[in-house]
Amino acid sequence: MRATLPAIDRGRSDPGSTGTLQTIRIPVSGMTCAACQSRVQGTLQKQEGVAVASVNLMMKSATVTYNPAAVSPNRLVAAIRETGYGAELASPDQTAFEEQEARDRGQEEEFKQLRRKAIVSAIAGVVAMIISMPLMTAGEHGTDGVAADPFMRWLMDALTPGLRAVAPWLYSIPGPVISYMLLAVTLGVMLWAGRHFYTRAWAAFRHHSADMNTLVAIGTGAAFFYSVLATLFPGFFLRRGLAPDVYYEAVVLIIALILTGNAFEARAKKRTSAALRALVHLQPKTARVLRGAEEIDVPVEAVATGDTVVVRPGERVPVDGAVSSGESAVDESMLTGESLPVSKRPGDRVIGGTINRTGAFRFAATTIGADSVLAQIVRLMRDAQGSRAPIQRLADRISGFFVPIVLSIAIVTFVVWFVAAETAPAVRAFAAAVAVLIIACPCA
């Protein structure tokens, strides 16, 4: 993702410095939860010369007010990268329209990718659950123990007769073969659909922090390695009177559920930006410009201040300007909310994005690009969405302790179950601890 340098506020000065404060917006990639947001914001706030730093998880951007005499934009980007997240400065002449279009493309791609992974993972999870049913049957495939989980015993007793009738061949497959099949499926899902959980958790660990990805990675990782141990060394469990139960289907289904939550979140972000997208689409892609005696269509980005632009009935005004010839009535409801068209004569101002209703006219372009009225409206709405309510400061403080507290509760849960459980204490303690880690994840 790339950063944008929009309009810079030079009207504020820092009493403690000799220069004025400037504002920069830096898109940040890799944030997935409030803990990520809090860490990035705290890091920026600690930088010398930074007056205010606000990070918005939904917009995936950081808005920083800083003293350019004390810190540079490149240093701010480097500070974000040092926390394990991505950020990169882009061309300072990128307009609000271009930035919003890039964000829309990124959100659409993110949603499609998460949806595809969630669907494939859910299908794989259901298949894995069905295939693993023979492994849950007491005494099957050389195992003498019983399922330690009461719910799993009930589920096994309820579904086994029907599954035997529908797919009797499934129960003729050796248990070790089924376990290795499930191992391959689970490993594939983890490496493809859930890979980002583990890479981001590792990045957070390297930077001495933890986030929601840490909870997912530890929970599913522990279940996976426990299952691998049961697959490779079943005798270790049998000698202790336990069935070498595997939890491959649980790992796959947990990843599928969390990806589904992420997909719903990505769709919500798309809908939240609908108003900004509607504003961006108000600007025409081309403008009819007078070159000598000829009218030619050029990209709206190619219109320069002073160019004579021709607008016909029913067309949108491409850029801001002042009418030089002709008369018409222009629908300015996108700006004022007034449904009645406004009469325009030579010398009157026209706004880019408004609709010409009746006559044709020509006007001289005055403000274009980031200085146009429509671009400023887009920028103001974007900044409003990126602003933070005072209550969010409390949420930031809580999120900084949330993950460590959850990890501590999971450890205590494991210890309590290990001591209190009468049968299969290790298995039950492990299952309870993993449940704490997964349930604590908002996406789950």
**199-248 per-position pLDDT tens digit:** 988 888 887 877 778 888 988 998 898 899 889 988 887 776 667 778 89
More confident residue, 138 or 158: 158
- Do 217 and 254 lie in one domain? The reply is yes
Tell me if 196 is assigned to some domain: yes
Torsion from C-alpha of 232, 117, 263, 213, nearest 10 degrees: 30
- Do 153 and 193 lie in one domain? The reply is yes
Tell me if 140 is assigned to some domain: yes
Give every strand in the sheet of 321-326, ordered side by side.
294-299, 286-291, 308-311, 361-365, 321-326, 349-350
Structural domain for 185, as ranges: 100-277
Tell me if 236 is assigned to some domain: yes
- Do 60 and 120 lie in one domain? The reply is no
Dihedral (CA of 409, 415, 416, 422) sign: positive
Report the range of poorest mean pLDDT among 145-159, 292-306, 397-411.
145-159
- Do 132 and 70 lie in one domain? The reply is no
Q: How confident is the model at residue 369 (pLDDT cuts 50, 70, 90)?
A: confident
Parallel, antiparallel or unpaired: strands 61-66 and 50-56: antiparallel
What tokens appear for 264 in the block? 């719903």
- Do 268 and 307 lie in one domain? The reply is no
Buried b (16+ CB within 10 A) or exposed e, 407-435: beebeebbeebbeeeeebebbbbbbbbbe
Count of structural domains, the chain = 3
Residue 407 · residue 441 · CB < 8 Å: no
Q: How confident is the model at residue 113 (pLDDT cuts 50, 70, 90)?
A: very high
- Do 257 and 362 lie in one domain? The reply is no
- Do 138 and 264 lie in one domain? The reply is yes
Tell me if 407 is assigned to some domain: no
Tell me if 337 is assigned to some domain: yes
pLDDT digits (tens, 9 = 90+) for 342-364: 999 999 999 999 999 988 999 99
Q: How far is CA 406 from CA 95, 250, 437, in A?
A: 43, 20, 7
Q: How confident is the model at residue 9 (pLDDT cuts 50, 70, 90)?
A: very low
- Do 165 and 30 lie in one domain? The reply is no
Among 368, 387, 408, where does a domain finish? 368
- Do 171 and 266 lie in one domain? The reply is yes
pTM of the model: 0.72
Q: How confident is the model at residue 298 (pLDDT cuts 50, 70, 90)?
A: very high
Tell me if 406 is assigned to some domain: no
Among 334, 368, 402, where does a domain finish? 368
Tell me if 398 is assigned to some domain: no
Tell me if 197 is assigned to some domain: yes
pLDDT exceeds 80 at position 143 = no
